[in-house]
Amino acid sequence: MVSAFNLAFILCVVSVAQAATYKKPQGFTENAILVKWTTAQDTKCRISVAAADQCWLKACSDRTSQAFVVNLLVPTIEEGPNSGNAWAECTAKTSTGKTYSLSGTVAEDDVYMTVIG
Protein backbone atom coordinates (compact mmCIF):
# COMPACT_ATOMS: atom_id res chain seq x y z
CA MET A 1 0.00 0.00 0.00
CA VAL A 2 1.28 3.46 -0.89
CA SER A 3 1.08 6.05 1.84
CA ALA A 4 -0.02 9.62 1.18
CA PHE A 5 3.56 10.79 1.78
CA ASN A 6 4.99 8.31 -0.72
CA LEU A 7 2.39 9.28 -3.30
CA ALA A 8 3.18 12.98 -2.83
CA PHE A 9 6.89 12.24 -3.22
CA ILE A 10 6.30 10.27 -6.42
CA LEU A 11 4.16 13.06 -7.89
CA CYS A 12 6.83 15.61 -6.99
CA VAL A 13 9.55 13.56 -8.73
CA VAL A 14 7.39 13.18 -11.84
CA SER A 15 6.67 16.94 -11.89
CA VAL A 16 10.37 17.80 -11.59
CA ALA A 17 11.24 15.37 -14.39
CA GLN A 18 8.53 16.85 -16.60
CA ALA A 19 9.69 20.41 -15.86
CA ALA A 20 13.22 19.47 -16.92
CA THR A 21 11.82 18.20 -20.23
CA TYR A 22 10.06 21.51 -20.73
CA LYS A 23 13.09 23.74 -20.05
CA LYS A 24 13.08 26.77 -22.34
CA PRO A 25 15.80 26.63 -24.98
CA GLN A 26 18.44 29.34 -25.11
CA GLY A 27 17.31 32.44 -26.96
CA PHE A 28 13.75 32.40 -25.66
CA THR A 29 12.54 35.00 -23.16
CA GLU A 30 10.06 34.72 -20.30
CA ASN A 31 7.33 35.28 -22.91
CA ALA A 32 7.87 31.87 -24.50
CA ILE A 33 5.08 29.32 -24.23
CA LEU A 34 4.87 25.61 -24.81
CA VAL A 35 2.34 24.60 -27.45
CA LYS A 36 0.97 21.44 -28.98
CA TRP A 37 1.43 22.25 -32.65
CA THR A 38 -0.67 19.36 -33.92
CA THR A 39 -3.78 21.17 -32.71
CA ALA A 40 -3.47 24.12 -35.12
CA GLN A 41 -6.74 24.93 -36.84
CA ASP A 42 -5.32 24.95 -40.37
CA THR A 43 -4.60 21.38 -41.46
CA LYS A 44 -1.48 22.38 -43.37
CA CYS A 45 -0.01 23.78 -40.14
CA ARG A 46 -0.14 20.29 -38.66
CA ILE A 47 1.72 18.49 -41.44
CA SER A 48 5.12 18.89 -39.80
CA VAL A 49 6.97 21.05 -37.32
CA ALA A 50 8.40 23.04 -40.25
CA ALA A 51 4.89 23.77 -41.55
CA ALA A 52 3.74 24.76 -38.07
CA ASP A 53 6.78 27.02 -37.84
CA GLN A 54 5.76 28.88 -40.99
CA CYS A 55 2.19 29.28 -39.73
CA TRP A 56 3.50 30.68 -36.43
CA LEU A 57 5.87 33.14 -38.11
CA LYS A 58 3.13 34.42 -40.41
CA ALA A 59 0.62 34.78 -37.57
CA CYS A 60 3.14 36.61 -35.39
CA SER A 61 4.22 39.00 -38.14
CA ASP A 62 0.57 39.66 -39.04
CA ARG A 63 -0.04 40.78 -35.43
CA THR A 64 2.72 43.36 -35.38
CA SER A 65 5.31 44.81 -37.68
CA GLN A 66 7.50 45.49 -34.67
CA ALA A 67 8.01 41.93 -33.46
CA PHE A 68 11.60 41.61 -32.37
CA VAL A 69 11.57 38.07 -31.05
CA VAL A 70 9.74 35.58 -33.19
CA ASN A 71 11.01 32.22 -32.05
CA LEU A 72 9.11 29.16 -32.96
CA LEU A 73 8.98 25.59 -32.37
CA VAL A 74 12.05 24.13 -30.89
CA PRO A 75 10.54 20.66 -30.52
CA THR A 76 10.68 19.22 -27.01
CA ILE A 77 8.65 16.06 -27.27
CA GLU A 78 8.04 14.38 -30.57
CA GLU A 79 5.05 12.08 -30.77
CA GLY A 80 5.82 10.79 -34.23
CA PRO A 81 6.79 12.65 -37.39
CA ASN A 82 3.59 14.70 -37.54
CA SER A 83 2.92 15.63 -33.96
CA GLY A 84 4.51 17.04 -30.86
CA ASN A 85 5.02 19.87 -28.43
CA ALA A 86 7.30 22.84 -28.94
CA TRP A 87 8.36 26.21 -27.60
CA ALA A 88 6.98 29.27 -29.34
CA GLU A 89 7.34 32.99 -28.81
CA CYS A 90 6.07 36.22 -30.30
CA THR A 91 7.37 39.25 -28.40
CA ALA A 92 7.02 42.81 -29.65
CA LYS A 93 8.44 46.18 -28.70
CA THR A 94 6.53 49.46 -28.61
CA SER A 95 7.92 52.68 -30.06
CA THR A 96 8.88 53.67 -26.51
CA GLY A 97 10.92 50.49 -26.07
CA LYS A 98 8.50 48.63 -23.81
CA THR A 99 8.21 44.92 -24.57
CA TYR A 100 5.04 42.90 -24.56
CA SER A 101 4.11 39.32 -25.34
CA LEU A 102 1.80 38.25 -28.12
CA SER A 103 2.62 34.56 -27.69
CA GLY A 104 -0.63 33.50 -26.06
CA THR A 105 -2.78 35.60 -28.39
CA VAL A 106 -1.08 34.24 -31.51
CA ALA A 107 -1.32 30.66 -30.23
CA GLU A 108 -4.95 30.78 -29.14
CA ASP A 109 -6.56 33.31 -31.48
CA ASP A 110 -4.55 33.05 -34.69
CA VAL A 111 -3.26 29.51 -35.16
CA TYR A 112 -5.42 27.78 -32.54
CA MET A 113 -2.56 25.80 -31.01
CA THR A 114 -3.16 24.41 -27.56
CA VAL A 115 -1.00 26.14 -24.95
CA ILE A 116 0.32 23.52 -22.56
CA GLY A 117 2.87 25.49 -20.59
Beta partners for 35?
A: 86, 115
Q: How far apart are CA 60 and CA 75, in angstroms?
A: 18
Radius of gyration for the alpha carbons in the chain, expressed in angstroms and rounded? 17
Q: pLDDT at residue 30 above 50?
A: yes
pTM of the model: 0.70
Check: CB of residue 65 under 8 Å from CB of residue 56. Answer: no
Residue 32 pLDDT grade (very low, low, confident, very high; cuts 50, 70, 90): confident
Q: What is the pLDDT of residues 59-78, one digit of tens each?
A: 988 887 665 656 665 655 55
Return the pLDDT at 15. 36
